[in-house]
Amino acid sequence: MERTSLTALIREHLSLARDATSGRSAHTVYGGHARTLRQTLIALTNGQRLDDHENPGEATLHVLYGRVRLTAGDTAAEGETGDLLIIPDARHALEALEDSAVLLTVAKQ
């Protein structure tokens, strides 16, 4: 059995994102290419985006810190600390409305 401190990862990756020219940092918490389930912590500084991209499978976005906007076409949903957003099965984008950290959970098809 393994234990991971998401609080420590949030602190670490927000610091890395603030120092990075891209304004973001990510870390695979669980899974990877050899597994069906993958969980990735993504830290974004205020105003940074993950531009439109495809959904690789069923996915959710748990906002661990801050506020984000998830958009798919003409539809948008905002989430703040503690919210769980269901990622639509469509091209979508993510924008940080303030310094934020999210946990992306994907069950690859």
Q: pLDDT tens digit string along 6-61?
A: 999 999 999 999 999 999 999 999 997 788 899 999 999 999 999 887 777 789 99
- Tell me which CATH homologous superfamily contains domain 6-108: Jelly Rolls (2.60.120.10)
Contacts of 40 (CB under 8 A, 6+ apart): 26, 27, 28, 29, 103, 104, 106
pLDDT at 92: 92
Q: Can you give the pLDDT at residue 27?
A: 96
Helix (H, G, I), strand (E, B) or coil at 69: strand
pTM > 0.95:
no
Give the pLDDT score at 60. 95
The pLDDT score that the predictor gives to residue 108 is 79
Give the CA dihedral 26, 83, 79, 7, nearest 10 degrees.
Answer: -40
Q: How far apart are CA 86 and CA 74, in angstroms?
A: 16
Q: For residue range 67-102, what is the model confidence (pLDDT) as tens digits?
A: 999 999 899 999 999 999 999 888 999 999 999 999
Tokens encoding 26: 């990510």
